[in-house]
Structure 1
Amino acid sequence: MVQDAEIAGGAVATDTGLAPIPDESAEQEQPMESGDLTSISPDNPHKGEGAIDDDEEQALFNEAVTSAPVVIFSKTWCPFCTEIKKLLLTYNDNGETKVVVAIELDRQKNGHGLMNAVESVVGRRSVPQVFIGGEYFGGLRAVQHARDEGKLKSIIADAVEAFRKVVVDRDDPKPLDSAAHHAA
């Protein structure tokens, strides 16, 4: 079996012939299937009948990006998503805190709305998109670059520590110290 090899001209030689090199920055949306949104509204070209509204999209998005220290917006058919999940999901062997969560947009009932919200933050509809510590980090190249620079592990460790602090504060709210509150 011949291994895939990149050749000049932006193609990959495979054992079945030439194939174009996939462009990571290109949107990789699959055609809509029956049951998906069927009409586009003039207010938002990405929304159709039955789509959730902007406030609900934003609320779902905010909940998603704060659900774990590292959140990957992904699609099951995307090879770049598969690669980034292999790289990042190794960080889940960290004890009791689930460090990395992959949200498969093509398997979510509200995946189209979540993609709209991701696009409003990131500026594009391509996947994968990674959020670390609730903040946009980038796609596959950004994660690979941080790994290659030896920074990814500490970035994720900082996000895990901040996440644990938020969870502890949320689960065990401390009353205001009235003396400190009055002194302020």
Structure 2
Amino acid sequence: MLSDPTQPVVLFALEWCEFCWSVRKMFAEAGIAYRAIDLDSVAYQADNRGGDIRAALRSLIGVPTIPQIFVAGEHIGGATETFDAFNDGSFKVRLAANNIPFNPDMTRDAYSFLPKWLHPR
């Protein structure tokens, strides 16, 4: 899942998760194509495949939370780490270094994609 060169940006997500929705919205506005692994989707329910992937992911990165984002096989982090990296420019640098297309003119604060019910950071 992490080594497919045709889908170098991977989002491990839950369909119902508002933080996952926020990352998806930011990726859409920034023109970042990605592969979503929705661990709670019907496609991953058989034989607890989604749960097994989540356990393997936790073992790999040591973090239990979702979403988790990878670029070209490298772990970026969850929503907060991804938003921080986008805002400080390091996410765009990583995309460019891996020849992953994106809209460099999208400069909106990544945290603005979070649900409005959240308290400001």
Q: After TM superposition, is the score higher than 0.5?
A: yes
Structure 2 match to 1:91: 31
Distance 1:159 1:128 in 2: 21
Q: Which runs of 4+ in 1 moved over 3 A?
A: none
Q: CA deviation at 1:91?
A: 2.8
User: Quick one: which of 31, 34, 44 aligns to 1:100?
Assistant: 34
Partners of 2:27 and 2:97 lie apart in 1 by: 15
User: Which 5+ residue runs of structure 1 have no aligned equivalent?
Assistant: 1-63, 93-98, 162-184
1:127–1:139 Cα contact (<8 Å) kept: yes
Pick from 71, 74, 85: which aligns with 1:146? 85
Q: Which of the numbers 59, 73, 76 marks the counterpart of 2:15?
A: 76
Higher relative CO (Cα under 8 Å, sequence separation at least 6) belongs to 2
CA–CA separation in structure 1 for the residues paired with 2:56 and 2:98: 22
Contact 1:105 1:111 in 2 (8 A): yes
Percent sequence identity is 30
- Aligned-partner Cα distance in 2 for 1:151–1:137: 10
The counterpart of 2:56, out of the listed 109, 117, 123, is 117
1:3-42 superposed matches below 5 A: none
Separation in structure 1 between the aligned mates of residue 67 and residue 80 of structure 2, nearest angstrom: 10
Question: Structure 2: which 5+ runs fail to align?
Answer: 101-121
Q: Displacement of 1:124 after TM fit?
A: 2.4
Structure 2 Cα separation of the partners of residues 135 and 82 of structure 1: 21
| Secondary structure, aligned partner of 1:136 | strand
| CA RMSD between the two structures | 1.6
The code of the aligned residue for 2:38 comes to: E
Distance in 2, Cα, partners of 1:101 & 1:134 = 12
SS in 2 for 1:66: coil
Q: Report the alpha carbon displacement of residue 154 of structure 1 after superposing the two structures with TM.
A: 2.1
Matched positions, count: 92
Opposite residue 36 of structure 2, the aligned amino acid is A
Structure with bigger gyration radius: 1
